[in-house]
Structure 1
Amino acid sequence: MRLSAPIYQLKRRAKLLARGQNIPLHQAQARIAAEEGFTAWSLLAAHASKNADVGTLLPHLSNGDMLLIAARPGHGKTRLGLRLLLDAAIEGRRSVLFSLEHTEREAMERFCALADPLPETTPEIIATDDICADYITNYLAGSPKGTVAVIDYLQILDQRRSTPPLSEQVEVLKTFARETGVILAAISQIDRSYEPEAASVPGLADLRLPNPIPPGAFSKACFLNAGEVRFQSLI
């Protein structure tokens, strides 16, 4: 099913409808969703997220970049990270997924769902609770410049008491990326307090961070919400 307009235009249309008819935004969104053939706005947003163009990140990245990929659950951040790894593999680059969220089998199933057939050399999948900054840098030591690694996800890196605070780990990763030319991307959650009505796409202030990260930790960021993707340079 093809939407009549990009998701951000449909969201704007819903806001105008809500204001014009003095009805709650969720009711306006439900009407727009019905016009597009969906029984609920959440289904329309999921459809838009699933079909969003997520294959264009790699050309915007440079060796040594630290990339943040952030969204609320179900808005495509993991899919975007996996697509980035597949694009890197297609170009012949080394690509590695460090997953604290999915098993190796689950990750491979998601790769298969994104690419048929898979690249001749598939991304490496590391799925262990031992993942932390030191583990990642040791594993990637000696990798050629332009290697791409994705960490799934940022907030779990310091879940074990034996690992350093998140801020220290991010500094280690940032230094490693700059010194080696490896591209590191970290998938991140957005705080539940984020209100789409206030901003169509979240930003750095909306990150869910029990432990703060140092300013300037990431060089680039990609924020997603309801099918809208916003890429930006942070330095």
Structure 2
Amino acid sequence: MNKIDPSLPAGGVALRLPPANLEAEQALLGALLANNKAYERVSEFLAPEHFADPIHGRIYQAIARRIEAGQLADAVTLKAEFEHSGILAEVGGTAYLAQLLGAMVGIINAGDYGRTIHDAWIRRQLVDLGEVVVNRAFGDEDAIDGRAQIEAAEQALFDLATRGSAEGGFVTFDRALTEAIAGAERAFQRSGHVSGLSTGLRDLDQRLGGLHPSDLLILAGRPGMGKTALATKIAFGAAQALRAEALGAAPKAAVAIFSLEMSAEQLASRILAENARISADRIRRGDIAQRDFDRFVEVSRTLSGLPLEIDDTPAITLSALRTRCRRLKRTRGLALVVVDYLQLMRPAAGTRPENRVLEISQITQGLKAIAKELAVPVIALSQLSRAVESREDKRPQLSDLRESGTIEQDADAVMFIYRDEYYLQQRAPKQLAFESEEKYQDALAKWQRDMDRVYNKAELFIAKQRHGPTGKIDLFFEAEFTRFADLDPDHHGDDIH
């Protein structure tokens, strides 16, 4: 039977064999059989499925199993094991094991052979992935449109890059110490003694030490508590800090806000209203005087140079968010990612989680992976379950997080925003509920005292923090401008920063 020359065209297309290096596979297996210490050079990244020849994969698996069990793995012991399992003939018999020993070049080359095998496996995966992309593009899966196909391909490439990496390993303690000292030096030299990126809120910076690369922070609360307003304040504060650090030059990095609920224009209006101290509702209705409009324009000029990027794509997928963050980091630099909010996101295109808990788990794990890969802090907003409303004390707890197990587990910090004023307003006494005018007035007076006590105040609870203390932070909140600021308790909110 004549063999087909791979270089010759077949039907107009060159026939190409999948990438493989069988000689390297034989040489590595021979080195392992000759000296089991060679296994240490490849065990961290090489697996049986990485071998192009399945027989080589089975032999490698048997060698690895014996070595990790503290047993000798050579041609004699493997022959006995394969005979006992009844697969000696399948792996080529005694003659092939002897042939492998003859193919050994030296254990010093084992690491290089292992990486060659691994690289060929990655290339085969890329070929398979390319075939899937081509078949989908030709319409094999009509349910997935073109844009979703791009996202599915990006997700598959990311998974391969994560799963297929032969890099990594230990960092020397000396290097780790150097990086720790550099972080301490940054905190010492900055006026607020904050090593991370500033949030623009003094007390929150002191508690968190700023926002740190690779951290996933969850900011959660019930509707009406001001989650978006606080996240916007933090993003705005970080952008201001980046601009201040640039000392008049263009900032080296930007803050990315993924606003799944509000449009970019609505979010910009909020930031303008907060800084111009003009109600966003009045701006929207045009209920402003000329001097208010002039103030509005003046503030907009001041804010126009802030390194803020807003993406208001609704129901964005995890893979699309990752791609846009990578692009922004490459083109402009990236310092912080804010996602508003978690439950409105979709998992990566092409994945079909079995239930909502698994879906949220994929999203939170993906956001944590983005934080680590791009070395930036990621703040993700999250809704709380309605269980809060059924309790007398409506202050949130970790168990109130929707799909709480996965969110709490993946996050480096979990924060809850709570405003007593919001709930107290709903409990205003109604005259018809009281027997007499006197009792109604007493109840009204007590309610007014309670309202005065919580007026323009919010509580931020840090319920979990891997790198620091938990506890409560009191903040100032102006509902009219949806504006958060630091609160000085000695001056009852007068000293606002």
TM-score, normalised by the number of residues in structure 2: 0.33
Matched, 1:186 2:380: yes
Q: 1:72 to 1:130 in 2, by over 3 A?
A: closer
Distance (Å, rounded) in 2 between the aligned partners of 1:202 and 1:215: 13
The partner residue of 1:231 within 462, 468, 493 is 462
**1:52-101: CA deviations, max 9, x gaps?**
x9824454321111010111111111111001110111012411110110
User: Pick from 240, 245, 262: which aligns with 1:90?
Assistant: 240
Whether 1:123 and 2:123 are equivalent positions in the alignment is no
Give the match for residue 367 of structure 2: 173
Do the aligned partners of 1:146 and 1:181 also contact (CA within 8 Å) in 2? no
Kept in 1, the 8 Å contact 2:256–2:337? The answer is: yes
**Aligned mates of 2:340, 2:373 — CA distance in 1:** 22
Are the aligned partners of 1:98 and 1:127 in contact in 2 as well (CA < 8 Å)? yes
Q: Which amino acid in the other structure matches residue 217 of structure 2?
A: L
Shift of 1:179: 2.6
Q: In 2, distance between residues paired with 1:83 and 1:232?
A: 20
CA gap of 1:208–1:94, structure 2 versus 1, over 3 A, is same
CA distance in 2, matches of 1:224, 1:183: 19
1-structure distance, mates of 2:257, 2:211:
17
How far the C-alpha of 1:162 sits from its partner, in A, is 6.1
Q: Is the 8 A contact 2:315 2:344 kept in 1?
A: no
Unpaired stretches in structure 2, ≥5 consecutive residues: 1-198, 243-252, 277-298, 353-358, 420-457, 467-497
Q: How many residues align?
A: 182
Matches within 5 A, 1:51-200: 55-56=201-202, 57=204, 59-92=209-242, 93-116=253-276, 117=299, 118=303, 120-129=305-314, 131-141=316-326, 143=329, 147-158=335-346, 165-195=359-389, 199=393
* Cα separation, partners in 2 of 1:174 and 1:109, compared to 1, 3 Å: same
- For the structure 1 residues 201 and 214, does the alpha-carbon distance in structure 2 shift closer, same or farther, using more than 3 Å as the test? closer
Residues 16-46 of structure 1: CA distance to partner in whole angstroms, max 9, x if unpaired? xxxxxxxxxxxxxxxxxxxxxxxxxxxxxxx
User: Which structure 2 residues correspond to residues 16-27 of structure 1 after superposition, within 5 A?
Assistant: none
Change (3 A) 1:159 1:219: closer
Kept after mapping to 2: 8 A contact 1:66/1:218:
yes
* SS across alignment from 2:385: coil
- Percent identity of the aligned residues? 27
Change (3 A) 1:72 1:159: farther
Query: Does structure 2 retain, via aligned residues, the 8 Å contact 1:68–1:186?
Result: yes
Matched residue SS, 2:230 = helix
Deviation at 1:122, TM superposition (A): 4.4
Question: How far has the Cα of 1:201 moved from its partner?
Answer: 2.6
CA contact under 8 A between 1:133 and 1:170: conserved in structure 2?
Answer: no
Per-residue CA shift, 1:158-211, capped at 9, x if unaligned? Answer: 3898665221122121112123211111111111111585555312210133x9
State the alpha-carbon separation in 1 of the partners of residues 273 and 460 from structure 2.
21
After superposition, the Cα gap between the structure-2 partners of 1:234 and 1:196, relative to the gap in structure 1 and judged at 3 Å, is farther
Q: Given the superposition, is the C-alpha separation of residues 208 and 233 from structure 1 closer, same or farther in structure 2, using an over 3 Å criterion?
A: closer
Q: CA deviation at 1:140?
A: 1.1
Q: Which ranges of structure 1 fall in alignment gaps of 5 or more residues?
A: 1-52
CA distance, structure 2, for counterparts of residue 175 and residue 158 of structure 1: 16
Give the match's secondary structure for 1:115.
helix
Is the CA contact 1:216–1:234 (under 8 Å) kept in the aligned structure 2?
A: no
CA contact (8 A) 1:98 1:125 kept: yes
Equivalent residue in structure 2 for 1:218, among 397, 411, 422: 411
Contact 1:71 1:225 in 2 (8 A): yes
> Offset at 1:132?
2.2
AA aligned to 1:81 is A
What is the distance in 2 between the residues matched to 1:197 and 1:129?
Answer: 33
Cα RMSD (Å): 3.0
Within a 5 Å distance, the mapping from 1:30-49 to structure 2 comes to none
Partner SS state of residue 73, structure 1: coil
- Which whole-Å CA distance do the structure 2 matches of 1:197 and 1:214 have between them? 22
- Bigger mean CA offset, 153-162 vs 178-187: 153-162
Secondary structure of the 2:416 match is strand
Does the CA contact (< 8 Å) of 2:256 and 2:310 recur in 1?
yes
Assess if the C-alpha contact under 8 Å between 1:153 and 1:188 holds in 2: yes
Between the aligned partners of 1:134 and 1:193, the Cα distance in structure 2 is 32
Give the deviation of 1:125 after TM superposition.
0.8
Q: Under a length normalisation based on structure 1, what TM-score does the superposition of the two structures give? A: 0.67
- Residues 200 and 238, structure 2, Cα contact 8 Å, conserved in 1: no
